[in-house]
Amino acid sequence: MVEAEVAAVEAVAEAVAVVGTRLRPHFRREAAHRHACAYLRGLLGGAERKNGWQLAEATGYRQPRSMQRVLDRSVWDADAARDALRAYVAERLGDAAGVLVVDETGFLKQGTKSAGVKRQYSGTAGRIENCQVGVFLGYACGNGRTAIDRALYLPQEWCNDPERRAAAGVPPAVAFQTKPQLATAMLKRALDAGVPAAWVTADEVYGNDYSFRQALEARGQAYVVAVKRTQTVSMWPPHRPIGQAKAATLATALQTEAWQRLSCGDGAQGERVYDWAFLPLRPALQDGWFHALLVRRHPTRPEEQAYYLVYAPEGTPLTEIVQAAGSRWAIEDTFKLAKGQAGLDHYETRSWRGWHRHITLALWALAMLASEAARAKGGLPGTTRRSFRSACPNCAA
């Protein structure tokens, strides 16, 4: 092994060792914790597929059963590990200007046995496919971007089928929840835990849901969420005359001077520059806050428009609102990295428990990559071999 490869392996081992100390309280047995740390090392390694056999081979196991037990029979609390992940991200990347980003991604599957699988729309494929759908909560700020929570969407037909639920290990207490309800619960966990966030953003699936928006307003959380062109908005003085209108109808009446060309952040091919129009709609029930409609227009294809509802303190600069809206794309980049480098979609388990356990460890791997990237840019302290060796002997190779 060349010197650079040795250094990379040692860096992964050190990072996993530090994280291992945070995970240890959530495992009953030391052996289970040791195997989970090996699983995490494998997710961070260079194996082409992060399944049981390849993770075992990459981490020096003779056969994959110990890796597989991490997802099924080992006794550990994946939700507690998720909470520890959230705290880790807040500590390592947290920024008062951070944005909590809600989105979903599909996991293409064959067969009908995997928990929650059905023919449903997959953003990953861009069409209806046989898949599972996971709802995720991302975190984006100047220090980096990652994901901090996850929930497997369980379609209504699964909730009403006791035999199918039992076969996939879906807990009896799990009831049907819409995707916006799952997202609301994740946001509550993050905000109750003190994750620093100036904004919440989400796509139309969530932005069109009144209860989702109302839950954020009730706790004084600013948001900028995408909505359909047919979304009805209410207006009243002093911002506009009393009435209601469709988002697209209001946009059609905009004059040329209403548009400003602004960047909403960096993309794969440079800055994402669009024309933006901002229409205050009405004062909010909370003093000093307002509701508004934000319209985005493509600079060369003006017929391509997108619409957002905004809830924010009065005096918030348009540039800040636009940047928050653009943060939603961060989760798409996060999903690509998670699937490409952290094995998010490489699992070979059908069970409810197995899905949540694998995804939790994959999100830990993703957060560690984000933390290392921030450290490399000079924003975070690094780990040391001294802290590695004394912190978590179970995590050593």
Place of tokens 């959230």: 86
Query: Where among 270, 293, 327 does a domain terminate?
Result: 327
How is residue 304 written in tokens? 């391509």
Specify if 209 maps to a domain: yes
Structural domain contains residue 143: no
Q: Are residues 73 and 12 in the same domain?
A: yes
Q: Are residues 377 and 304 in the same domain?
A: no
pLDDT tens digits in sequence order for the chain, 397 residues long: 455 444 555 666 788 888 999 999 999 999 999 999 999 999 998 888 998 889 999 899 989 999 999 999 999 999 999 999 999 999 999 999 999 999 999 999 999 999 999 999 988 788 999 999 999 999 999 999 999 999 999 999 999 999 999 999 999 999 999 999 999 999 999 999 999 999 999 999 999 999 999 999 999 999 999 999 999 999 999 999 999 999 999 999 999 999 999 999 887 677 899 999 999 999 999 999 999 999 999 999 999 999 999 999 999 999 999 999 999 988 889 999 999 999 999 999 999 999 999 999 999 999 999 998 888 877 554 443 333 333 445 555 4
Of 267, 292, 327, which marks where a domain is finished? 327
Spatial distance between the Cα atoms of 44 and 9, rounded to a whole number of angstroms: 9
Residue 100 lies in a domain: no
Residues 271 and 303 in one domain: yes
Name the residue with tokens 């597989």. Answer: 68
- For residues 285 and 356, state if they share a domain: no
* Predicted local confidence at residue 266, as pLDDT: 81
Is the pTM here over 0.75, yes or no? yes
Residue 249: per-residue pLDDT: 97
Per-position DSSP letters for 110-137, written without gaps between them: SSS-STT-EEEEETTTTEEEEEEEEEEE
Within a domain: 175: no
The answer to whether residues 359 and 314 belong to one domain is no
Is 31:38 a contact under the CB 8 Å cutoff? no
Q: Rounded to the nearest 5°, which phi and psi values hold at 393?
A: -60, -25
Beta strands in the chain (DSSP E): 99-108, 118-122, 127-141, 144-152, 199-202, 223-227, 232-235, 243-246, 259-267, 270-283, 289-297, 305-313
Q: What is the pLDDT of residue 1?
A: 45
DSSP H helical ranges for 314-384: 318-326, 329-341, 352-376
Helix pair 3-23, 352-376: axis angle to 10 deg: 120
Question: What pLDDT is attached to residue 5?
Answer: 44
CA-wise closest residue to 139 among 185, 196, 193: 196
Do 316 and 353 lie in one domain? The reply is no
Which amino acid is it at 186?
Answer: M
Residues 370 and 315 occupy one common structural domain: no
pLDDT value, residue 380: 54
Structural domain containing residue 65 = 3-79+349-395
Residues 312, 375: one domain? no
Q: Is residue 134 part of a domain?
A: no
Looking at the structure, tell me whether residues 313 and 231 fall in a common domain: yes
What does the pLDDT read at residue 396? 52
Q: Do both 311 and 386 map to the same domain?
A: no
Is residue 132 in a domain?
no
Identity at 89, one-letter amino acid code: V
166 assigned to some structural domain: no
Same domain, 228 and 307: yes
Residue 221 lies in a domain: yes
Residue 7 confidence (pLDDT): 52
Q: Are residues 304 and 219 in the same domain?
A: yes
The tokens describing 192, both together, are: 């109750």
* Cβ-contact 215, 188 below 8 angstroms: yes
Looking at the 3D structure of the chain, how many domains does it have? 2
